[in-house]
């Protein structure tokens, strides 16, 4: 089984080609760039360097979000279009799980953090159980203070990974000695990890309806629903004309 993995959720861009047995190649860039500019050249190089062609693929695995809305849309659109047009399997993985999987410590809660601004985060809690990364607390968009209270209540040791630098004071203040911060290297998503995570899962049944996990409604829609709780008279939102 040949797996292509794609993650452009945040600043880094990472793509990999792998079989369940071994990694064939990975391209990871960690520079400020537009992913629309960088993604396809990285894929082109990856296939060429590994002497593969897109038709050789069996499965496309994509980091589905949360993350930058534009970033996750580019990865998801590219992945779902490849899967659809080549008639291959498609698997979506949490972008938070991708960096959580860089932390190999057993027994601790692994808590990835993406800075969502205004002291809020995209986050969740993971744990290794029998060699598999298991989601313990679902991915969410949450005020950091509320989240830290919830984590403190678990009484478990926690390893934070991701955008930890800006929040480090708050993390240690809330959890004291139970908090550890993973090395900066762990915050970088790796296509190889994504491929490994995605190899184990069952593919989506409908590629067309596959969309990013934004975890946040748009402000316009949230305001609309506040004023129109019954959401009357507008669905279906998109119609063929």
Partner 1 sequence: MEETARQRELILAFESSCDETSVAVVENGDKILSNVIASQINSQKRFGGVVPEVASRHHVEQVTLCAEEAMTQAGVSYADLTAVAVTYGPGLVGALLIGVSAAKAVAFAHQLPLVPVNHMAGHIYAARLVKPLTYPLLALLVSGGHTEIVYMQAAGKFEIIGDTRDDAAGEAFDKVGRVLNLAYPAGKKIDDLAKQGQDTFHFPRAMMRENNYDFSFSGLKSAFINTVHNAQQRGEALVPADLAASFQASVIDVIVAKTMRAVKEYGVNQLVMAGGVAANSGLRARFQQEIAAQAPELDFVVPPLRLCGDNGAMIGAAAHVFYAQGIRGDGHLNAQPGLSFAYMTPERRATFSK
Binding-site residue total for partner 1 (CB under 8 A)? Answer: 44
Q: Binders of partner 1 among 158-217, rule CB under 8 A?
A: 207-209, 211-212, 214
Separation of alpha carbons 66 and 93, rounded Å? 10
Q: Is residue 221 close enough to count as binding partner 1 by CB under 8 A?
A: yes
Q: Which helix (H) or strand (E) holds 125?
A: strand 120-129
Nearest CB to partner 1, comparing residues 168 and 218: 218
Nearest CB to partner 1, comparing residues 37 and 146: 37
Q: Is residue 44 close enough to count as binding partner 1 by CB under 8 A?
A: yes
Q: Is residue 239 close enough to count as binding partner 1 by CB under 8 A?
A: yes
Query: Contact 20/199 with Cβ under 8 angstroms?
Result: yes
| Alpha-carbon separation of residue 58 from 26, 87, 90, 108, 148 (angstroms) | 17, 9, 9, 34, 41
Nearest CB to partner 1, comparing residues 31 and 55: 55
Kindly give, in sequence order, each residue whose CB lies less than 8 Å from that of residue 171, ignoring residues fewer than 6 positions away. 148, 160, 164, 179, 181
Q: Binders of partner 1 among 59-118, rule CB under 8 A?
A: 69-70, 73-74, 76-78, 80-82, 84-86
Nearest by Cα to 161 from 128, 194, 186, 132: 186
**Structure-token match 């040949």, residue found:** 2
Nearest CB to partner 1, comparing residues 95 and 101: 95
Among 43, 148, 187, 196, contact with partner 1 (rule: CB under 8 A): 43
Nearest CB to partner 1, comparing residues 62 and 181: 62
Helix (H, G, I), strand (E, B) or coil at 49: helix
Cis check for the bond before 213: say yes or no (omega within 30 of 0): no
Binding site for partner 1 (CB under 8 A): 34, 36-37, 39-41, 43-44, 53-55, 69-70, 73-74, 76-78, 80-82, 84-86, 207-209, 211-212, 214, 218-221, 224, 228, 234-241
């Amino acid at each position: 089984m040949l797996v292509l993995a794609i993650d452009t959720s945040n600043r880094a861009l990472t793509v990999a080609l792998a079989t369940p047995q071994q990694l064939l190649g990975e391209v990871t860039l960690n520079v400020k760039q537009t992913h629309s500019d960088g993604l396809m050249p990285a894929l082109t190089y990856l296939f060429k360097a590994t002497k593969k062609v897109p038709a050789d693929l069996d499965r496309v695995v994509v980091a589905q979000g949360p993350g930058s809305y534009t970033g996750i849309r580019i990865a998801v659109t590219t992945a779902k279009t490849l899967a659809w047009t080549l008639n291959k399997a498609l698997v979506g993985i949490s972008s938070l799980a991708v960096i959580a999987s860089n932390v190999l410590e057993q027994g601790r809660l692994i808590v990835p953090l993406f800075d969502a601004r205004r002291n809020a985060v995209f986050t969740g809690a993971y744990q290794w159980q029998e060699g598999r990364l298991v989601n313990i607390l679902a991915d969410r968009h949450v005020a950091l203070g509320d989240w830290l209270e919830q984590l403190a209540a678990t009484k478990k040791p926690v390893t934070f990974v991701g955008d930890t630098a800006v929040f480090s004071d708050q993390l240690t203040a809330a959890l004291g000695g139970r908090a550890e911060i993973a090395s900066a290297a762990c915050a970088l998503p790796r296509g190889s990890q994504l491929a490994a995570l995605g190899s184990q899962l069952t593919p989506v049944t409908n590629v067309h309806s596959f969309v990013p996990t934004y975890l946040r409604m748009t402000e316009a829609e949230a305001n609309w629903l506040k004023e129109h709780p019954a959401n009357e008279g507008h669905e279906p939102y998109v119609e063929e004309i």
